Amino acid sequence: MTSPSTENSTPLLIQEKESFSMADYQIEIIAYLGLLTADVYYFKVKFQPIADLDGEKGETSSQLGLLRVGSLNSSLDRELQLRKILQNYSLIAPLIADIQVDLAIINTLSIKEKSQEVDEKQNEDIAPKQIVSEDSEFVNIPSTKDDDSVENQSAETDYLE
């Protein structure tokens, strides 16, 4: 397990098909698995050592893993404290890396859900025009949706097993 590092630059974007580096690994998010505990987001990821990216063999040594993202006061923090106490207890899977970032943007919509949302939005944009053209005295004001509900911005800690 590597020691936690703090990243103070731009916000870390966590969503499907996004890639970033964590410790000595390149991480690619494959799928959002859900909010399986009250304060921890789970993602299926593919990871490989950054050193392997520059290899001449062309072989990929990527593996599947689990990325968990939670706030500094979440159950992930309590788990890290427990791991420090237990040290190398053999019944607990080792952590590949853990980092702390000041700001992470978590987008839990899958690529498929985003395309469906765009299609629905396009249909909503068409519908008010059709209604207005049917009866010029009737005015239809579409309600606006709050798009920030799918993104959570807070101080986050990332863990990769």
Q: Helix or strand or coil: residue 143?
A: coil
pLDDT tens digits, residue range 61-103?
A: 889 999 999 888 888 888 888 988 988 888 888 888 888 888 8
CA angle 111, 116, 119 (to 5 degrees): 130
Alpha helices in the chain (DSSP H): 50-53, 75-86, 111-134
Q: What is the pLDDT of residue 73?
A: 86
What is the residue extent of each domain of the chain?
A: 5-110+151-160
Pairing of strands 63-70, 40-49: antiparallel
Low-confidence ranges of the chain (pLDDT < 50): 1-5, 127-154
Q: What is the pLDDT of residue 79?
A: 87
Q: What is the pLDDT of residue 28?
A: 95
Q: How many angstroms separate the CA atoms of 53 and 55, rounded?
A: 6
CA distance readout (Å), 125 to 86, 120, 121, 137, 142: 57, 9, 6, 19, 8
